[in-house]
Structure 1
Amino acid sequence: MAGEVIDRAMGALIAGALGDALGMPTQLLSPVRIAELYGHVEDFVAPDADHPVSKGLPAGAITDDTEQALLLGRILVESGEGFDHARWVNALLDWERDVKARGSYDLLGPSTKRAIDAINSGVPAEEAGRGGDTNGAAMRIAPVGIMMPPEPLDALVAKVAETCRATHNTSIAIASASAVAAAVSLGISGGDWRAASGHAVAAARLGATLGHWVTGGDIAARIVWAQE
């Protein structure tokens, strides 16, 4: 059983990285433009030389999403039972400096970029994420789903919210990240995709009650629509 759980956890991380690398050259492009540049993408391809954010990366390169997921996983392990928010913030700041040094700053998502800029300008980390309403938290959240059991669900969602505080402390971002983490957690415990998507709906509803409220779509309702 332990071996199966480890295999599923590895699968969640590896599949996320593979999807990230496959989508790297097509992100921010319209379907028409993707077809013009690459045709039907079914393998790793290098981004177009004029790509708005991915230019210069080799085929198969991961983006900030996978890098942040691995960084978050490391901080979760180092934090033990709790979550060391200060360690997480410092790790993000160090990572951002490294990204800049590598010339990949354009890859950073808008919410993370705004939050890090705010922290560097003196805004307390607890306040920097109050405008983070994009999907970066959901893209990096798999390690929380790996770490936390499916139940109690409120504990899982609370852990998600802790990791969102510095960059994505809004109702819609926490709802989205909670949905992904809950689905990953249930999948690792052996549940099928139907059970995992149902757990994601419940988690999204809980997550939507946390953080700073912002206008936006109902994540739980959209998952239900997809199920139907």
Structure 2
Amino acid sequence: MTPRPDSASGAGGRGGEHASAPGASGSAASSRAAGALYGLAIGDALGMPTQSLPRALIIERYGEVLDGFHPAPEDQPLAAGMPAGAITDDTEQALLLARLVVSSGGEVDGRELAHKLVEWEDGMRARGSLDLLGPSTKRAIEELLQGKDIGETGRYGTTNGAAMRVTPVGIATPSTDLDLLLDRVVAASAVTHNTGLALSAAAAVAAAVSAGIDGATVAEATRLAIHAAGEASKRGHWVAGADLATRIAWATTLIDTAPGTTPPRPGAVSALLSDLVGTSLASQESVPAAFAVLAAFPGDPWPAVRLAASVGGDTDTIAAIAGAIAGACHGLDGFPTDARATVARVNGLRLEELAGQLLEVRSG
């Protein structure tokens, strides 16, 4: 994939891709780990007001690509009235999982995760939020609480809930041990998403984040993600659906077919994602879409996440995944200082500390 300069960023380029290395130094790893968490939160917050909206309406209200954070309008179906820079369930569930990864030393207990998710949803409902557990997670947890075997509760989970929250597993696990990475992805996902389809999606995200922490470029991280997705497809229950590894590889090369100038304008990329790749909460749509956005802007995370938040459909998740991977590959400086400050202030986040704790698990 040929690197594309930023043709729509208000922040400009920041140094291009990092050279690959067998492992990042301590300071570089710290920046990349924090960058993954900030990237997730920034992408999530950008997509908060546009989630569940059609691309045409997003263009009408914000233009082809969002210029930054916006508050949610009163007709927003899931986040009405939320302030600019507010995160959604994507970041909140990822941070919940991160704390479990730290406390467990890497391998999360599925039952504990399920109970923590129930507590989280109760808190969200008490605050009047409609941004609650997704369909796969809700069904699985209800079955678990009714006494169903934990190996069976996630057998119908195919949506992107596991992929959207798995970033901490990637931060906490070295990319050089793919078997361990896959084991930890399954442990953190199977209670709600125990299908080859959903596990492939989660493994792709975790592997890409992990590779970024170890010094990989976006292109290199994507190659490992495709391999990890293929391996993870052999785990969990079989369900009918397009192969994630194949879909990611196809979606990332599809960008070269975007019509218009070279590089193509972001609107042309967005149209391809919306019309061909798909932007729903289905794992085989939203996760390849996130990787395709990164292929369009491999050298600069800021326009990538803004584009991801503009494609329509499950924009908060697509942008959160793209942001996490881009942040892991580029580090904290991949995002504007004011964007990081905004999500930290609006949501009361202290992500550097949590990133450091996840790195301790990684090196343990």
TM range (shorter): over 0.9
Aligned to 1:33: 57
Write the letter of the residue equivalent to 2:93: Q
1:179 to 181, 192, 204: 204
The CA deviation at 1:13 is: 0.5
Following superposition of structure 1 onto structure 2, how do residues 119-198 of structure 1 map, counting pairs within 5 Å? 119-198=144-223
Unmatched 5+ stretches in structure 1: none
Q: Which has the higher contact order (CA 8 A, sep 6+)?
A: 2
Deviations 1:52-85 (A, max 9, x none): 2121322211111100110111001111254333
Shift in CA distance, 167/220, structure 1 to aligned 2, threshold 3 Å: same
Residues 107 and 188 in structure 2, CA contact (< 8 A), matched pair in contact too? no
The CA deviation at 1:198 is: 0.7
1:22 to 40, 46, 49: 46
- Partner of 2:102, secondary structure, is helix
Following superposition of structure 1 onto structure 2, how do residues 16-165 of structure 1 map, counting pairs within 5 Å? 16-39=40-63, 40-165=65-190
Residues 37 and 48 in structure 1, CA contact (< 8 A), matched pair in contact too? no
The TM-score, its normalising length taken from structure 1, stands at 0.93
The TM-score, its normalising length taken from structure 2, stands at 0.60
The CA deviation at 1:123 is: 3.4
The CA deviation at 1:142 is: 0.6
Residues 107 and 187 in structure 2, CA contact (< 8 A), matched pair in contact too? no
Q: Which portions of structure 1, spanning 4 or more consecutive aligned residues, are displaced by more than 6 angstroms?
A: none
Separation (CA, whole Å) in 2 of partners of 1:121 and 1:104: 25
Write the letter of the residue equivalent to 1:52: P
Unmatched 5+ stretches in structure 2: 1-24, 254-364
Q: Matched residue pairs, number?
A: 228
Separation (CA, whole Å) in 2 of partners of 1:193 and 1:34: 27
Separation (CA, whole Å) in 1 of partners of 2:141 and 2:126: 15
Separation (CA, whole Å) in 1 of partners of 2:130 and 2:194: 22
Determine if the alignment matches structure 1 residue 204 to structure 2 residue 229.
Answer: yes
Separation (CA, whole Å) in 2 of partners of 1:224 and 1:33: 29
Residues 106 and 184 in structure 2, CA contact (< 8 A), matched pair in contact too? no
Write the letter of the residue equivalent to 2:246: A
- Partner of 1:182, secondary structure, is helix
